[in-house]
């Protein structure tokens, strides 16, 4: 929580410092763009939930679509508890009632998180060289394109098996006996890449909804910012749902798009409020649909 307080302290300090420029900024309100961001964020949630169900399916433990969404979406609420451990434990416990062994569900969540990291790194690495400011400073920025290949290679069963079994041994668990085929891993990483790009587009739509100063030329910035903010929140996992961390990333990176750090800081806080509202709404809608159309099995 100290980290969250520090980040928000600096964000609000920048906002206070630049209040005059924030107040005089060319703010606007464009409902179609806001609705577009809503739709794209819904696509992201549905895509990520489906991704996890696909992983379970590849482990030969298919879960019905709606209850799978229920478990995945409800576990999102646990992200607001520092550490994200409760999210993993909660999902493993909830999915067990659908005849998925804890060992399989735990492995599926680990695979999911690792592939999210690899795909986020891939999209970030491809988007960064498209930033004119970075590209104009050095041609060496294109060397970052080697990162996606390294990220995917690290997910080869031989590599992930050695690392995973080492960790499992340290925590007193039996070694993994089954791994996803490398071809499946590659396809899933590419699958998740799609939704990181959609996330960047949703962030762009959010910005475009409140100002006309954002142009299509800023799209590479938002596409890179979205996975970067998530990666930083993973690094600082003690922050609940990346609170403070993501805002700090957006305040810095989107400052290049807004041409004003104070405006970017104000937008970062608005984005957090919008994102949280959509996330909670998504969870409530899925929970409501499950109660209406699906009878949950008895524990």
pLDDT of 175 reads: 67
pTM higher than 0.85 for the full model?
Answer: yes
Provide the domain limits for residue 38. Answer: 30-293
Give the whole-angstrom CA distance, residue 129 versus residue 220: 9
- Using CB atoms within 10 Å of the CB of residue 186, give its burial: 0 to 12 exposed, 13 to 18 middle, 19+ buried: middle
Q: Would 259 be classed as within a structural domain?
A: yes
In a domain, 179, yes or no: yes
pLDDT given at position 168 = 67
What would the 3-class secondary structure string for 227-262 be?
HHHHHHHHHCCCCHHHCCHHHHHHHHHCHHHHCCHH
Q: Is residue 18 part of a domain?
A: no
Instruction: Indicate the number of domains in the chain.
Output: 1
C-alpha span between 120 and 148 (Å, rounded): 9
Assigned domain for 77 exists: yes
What average pLDDT values come out for the chain (299 residues) when binned by 10 residues? Answer: 54 63 77 95 94 94 90 84 78 91 88 93 89 68 79 84 70 72 93 96 94 87 93 78 77 82 83 86 85 62
The answer to whether residues 200 and 271 touch, using CB atoms and an 8 Å cutoff, is no
Cα separations (Å) of 116 from 16, 92, 97, 190, 227? 36, 18, 26, 10, 9
Say if 147 falls within a structural domain. Answer: yes
User: Is 225 within the bounds of a domain?
Assistant: yes
> Is the CB of residue 237 less than 8 Å from the CB of residue 220?
no
Question: Does residue 235 belong to any structural domain of this protein?
Answer: yes
Is there a domain that residue 216 lies in? yes
CA dist 184 and 23 (Å) reads 50
């Amino acid at each position: 929580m100290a980290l969250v307080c520090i980040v928000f302290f600096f964000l609000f300090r920048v906002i206070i410092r630049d209040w005059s420029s924030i107040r005089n900024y060319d703010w606007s309100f464009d409902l179609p763009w806001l609705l577009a961001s809503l739709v794209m964020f819904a696509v992201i949630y549905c895509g990520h939930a489906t991704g996890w169900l696909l992983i379970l399916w590849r482990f030969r433990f298919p879960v019905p679509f709606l209850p799978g969404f229920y478990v995945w979406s409800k576990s999102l609420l646990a992200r607001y508890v520092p550490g994200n451990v409760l999210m993993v434990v909660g999902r493993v416990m909830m999915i067990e009632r659908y005849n998925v062994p804890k060992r399989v569900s735990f492995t599926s969540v680990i695979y999911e998180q690792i592939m999210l990291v690899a795909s986020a790194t891939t999209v970030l690495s491809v988007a960064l060289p498209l930033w004119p400011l970075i590209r104009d400073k050095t041609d060496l920025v294109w060397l970052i394109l080697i990162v996606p290949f390294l990220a995917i290679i690290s997910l080869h069963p031989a590599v992930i098996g050695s690392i995973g079994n080492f960790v499992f041994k340290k925590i007193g668990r039996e070694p993994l006996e089954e791994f996803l085929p490398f071809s499946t891993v590659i396809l899933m990483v590419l699958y998740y890449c799609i939704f990181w790009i959609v996330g960047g587009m949703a962030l762009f739509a959010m910005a475009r909804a409140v100002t006309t100063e954002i142009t299509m030329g800023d799209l590479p910035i938002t596409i890179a910012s979205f996975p970067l903010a998530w990666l930083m929140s993973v690094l600082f996992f003690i922050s609940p749902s990346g609170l403070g961390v993501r805002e700090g990333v957006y305040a810095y990176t989107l400052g290049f798009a807004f041409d004003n750090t104070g405006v970017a800081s104000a937008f970062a806080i608005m984005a957090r409020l919008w994102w949280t509202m959509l996330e909670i709404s998504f969870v409530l809608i899925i929970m409501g649909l499950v109660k209406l159309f699906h009878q949950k099995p008895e524990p």
